[in-house]
Amino acid sequence: MHLYRLDINDPKDFLASLGVESSGITIIEKKMELIFIYIKELKTPAVNILKQDALSIGAELAVPSGVITYAKTHYDCLLIGNKKHIEILSQKELAQPFGLKNVARELKSFLYTKEYPVQIMGIINANDDSFYPSSRFDADLAIGEIENMIAQGADIIDIGAVSSRPNALIVSADEEMNRVKIICDTIKGQKLYEKAIFSIDSYTPNVVEYALESGFKIINDISGASDDRLIGLAVKYDAKLCIMHMQGTPQTMQQNPRYDDVIAEVSDFFEARISKCESLGLNRENIIIDVGIGFGKTLEHNIILIKNMRHFSKFGCRILVGASRKSMIDKIIPTPIEDRLFGTLAIHLKAIENGASIIRCHDVKEHKQAIEVYKALS
């Protein structure tokens, strides 16, 4: 006889391989994953009620000293339990006062998240000022690089003509169109959209529509769906809209970015923007969210968002992450842009582990290898 301590990443698959009946898998799987939910500013009576309810079912609520004596009116706390515990509490607290009905509804949103296969999005910059020189291509070279990325394993190709690096130059709509038009025409003429999904990295409506007419299927909007016309175009062409969070603009975003709580504020942003998209007819299935690594965030903000990426799964949307060769790597360990591939892979694999399913990167071949090995180990 031997005993092993196991790390089980896919409980359903493991239980099936063990020979557990399907009905048993459903019951047992909910007990195998430990979930931590941080609750901020909960009324003290609610904390005490939730503490007792959690303990009664075998879960736990970690609370500060002073709660039992009502020393303060509100407290932060940490709920610890498995899926079954959270499922029970999401029903039980609906009958409780002091804001616990809202807690119950939020708990429920964490239970029914979707799992998506990981996709690699290769970057093509049709400009001459993006922060990574090797990603810049004129119209003639861009097509060759697109075909190269597809051969290397890219699922999506993201094409943009305007740099969004800090302090980037502002480009006119006409100039942006001039830069992407030939590329769009070639993709349409050669039917390259049959080989990969194409994404237009733009928030200029006429540029976006030209790309959609050329066979593109994703609008990568760094402005975060601030223009209703882009939502309308996504609906009209049955395209997906990627909503990115950014504090400020590319010209101002890194001028002392501040948040009281970066997870809460980015989450509230997505809540509002997704609601707006749905009200204008865009189905949630066609919405992708991007927390905007490096867009109005300090190193600390970026790390917090990557570590807590799983939180954003509650929206049921695909999560895109793009940290490719970004300056956060240099802030962790001083490294020139051309040597940041290794740090990029570390960040992106951690993001996948925490729920990201679209990885936007410059180095497709290396990401394909790393992700396939990661999947085999998982």
Q: Residue 351 and residue 344: Cα distance in Å, rounded?
A: 11
Rounded average pLDDT over 158-166:
87
Q: Residue 330: which H helix or E strand, with range?
A: helix 327-332
pLDDT in tens, 121-152: 999 998 877 787 778 788 778 999 999 999 99
* 255 vs 192: which has the higher pLDDT: 192
pLDDT tens digits, residue range 92-112?
999 999 999 999 999 999 988
Say what the pLDDT of residue 49 is: 97
What's the rounded mean pLDDT across residues 223-240? Answer: 96
The encoded tokens of residue 83 equal: 């899926």
Distances (CA, A) of 8 to 15, 124, 378: 10, 37, 8
For 280, phi and psi rounded to 5 degrees?
-100, 10
Q: What is the pLDDT of residue 70?
A: 92
Lowest mean pLDDT among 10-19, 131-140, 189-198, 264-273: 131-140
Contacts with 201 (C-beta within 8 Å, 6 or more apart), sequence order: 158, 159, 160, 161, 162, 164, 220, 222
Query: Predicted confidence band at 213 (pLDDT cuts at 50, 70, 90)?
Result: very high
pLDDT(261) > 80: yes
pLDDT at site 323 = 97
Q: How far apart are CA 176 and CA 209, in angstroms?
A: 13
Q: Are 131 and 330 in contact (CB under 8 A)?
A: no
Q: Of all residues in the chain, what percent carry a pLDDT higher than 70?
A: 99
Cβ-based neighbour number of residue 180 at 10 Å? 28
Give residue 87's pLDDT. Answer: 95
Residue 253 CB coordination number (10 Å) = 20
Amino acid at 236: K
Residue 324: burial class (beta carbons within 10 Å; 0-12, 13-18, 19+):
buried
Residue 2 identity: H
Q: What percent of the chain has pLDDT over 90?
A: 78
User: Residue 2 pLDDT more than 70?
Assistant: no
Q: What is 119-377's CATH number? A: 3.20.20.20
Nearest-angstrom CA–CA distance, 97 and 296: 38
- Report domain 33-109's class: alpha beta
pLDDT for 306: 97
Q: Quick check: 253 pLDDT over 80?
A: no
Mean pLDDT, range 339-352, rounded to an integer? 98
- Strand spans (E) along the chain: 34-43, 60-62, 74-82, 119-125, 156-160, 197-201, 218-221, 240-244, 287-290, 318-321, 358-361
Report CA-CA distances (Å) from 11 to 4, 166, 174, 315: 16, 43, 53, 23
Question: Annotated active-site positions, please?
Answer: 326, 360
Report how far residue 75's alpha carbon sits from residue 69's, in angstroms, rounded to the nearest whole number: 12
> Average pLDDT for residues 304-319, to the nearest whole number?
96
For 66-70, 72-76, 120-124, which range has the lowest pLDDT when averaged over its residues? Answer: 66-70
The mean pLDDT value for 143-163 works out to 95
Q: Residue 306: in which H helix or E strand, if any? A: helix 299-307
* Per-residue pLDDT band at 309 (split at 50, 70, 90): very high
pTM to 2 decimals? 0.90
C-alpha–C-alpha distance, residues 239 and 221, integer Å: 12
- What are the sequence ranges of the domains in the chain? 33-109, 119-377
Q: Can you tell me the mean pLDDT for 279-308?
A: 96
Q: How far is CA 244 from CA 46, 78, 295, 371, in A?
A: 34, 29, 9, 23
Q: What mean pLDDT do residues 216-233 have?
A: 96
Q: Which amino acid is at 29?
A: E
Please check whether residue 313 is in contact with residue 113, taking contact to mean a CB–CB distance below 8 angstroms: yes
Q: 30 falls in which pLDDT band (50, 70, 90)?
A: confident
Region 61-74: what's the mean pLDDT? Answer: 93
pLDDT at 208 > cutoff 80: yes
Tokens of 309: 């990426």
CA separation (Å) from 252 to 235, 249, 258?
Answer: 31, 5, 12
The residue among 304 and 26 whose pLDDT is bigger is 304
Residue 255 — pLDDT band, cuts 50, 70, 90? confident
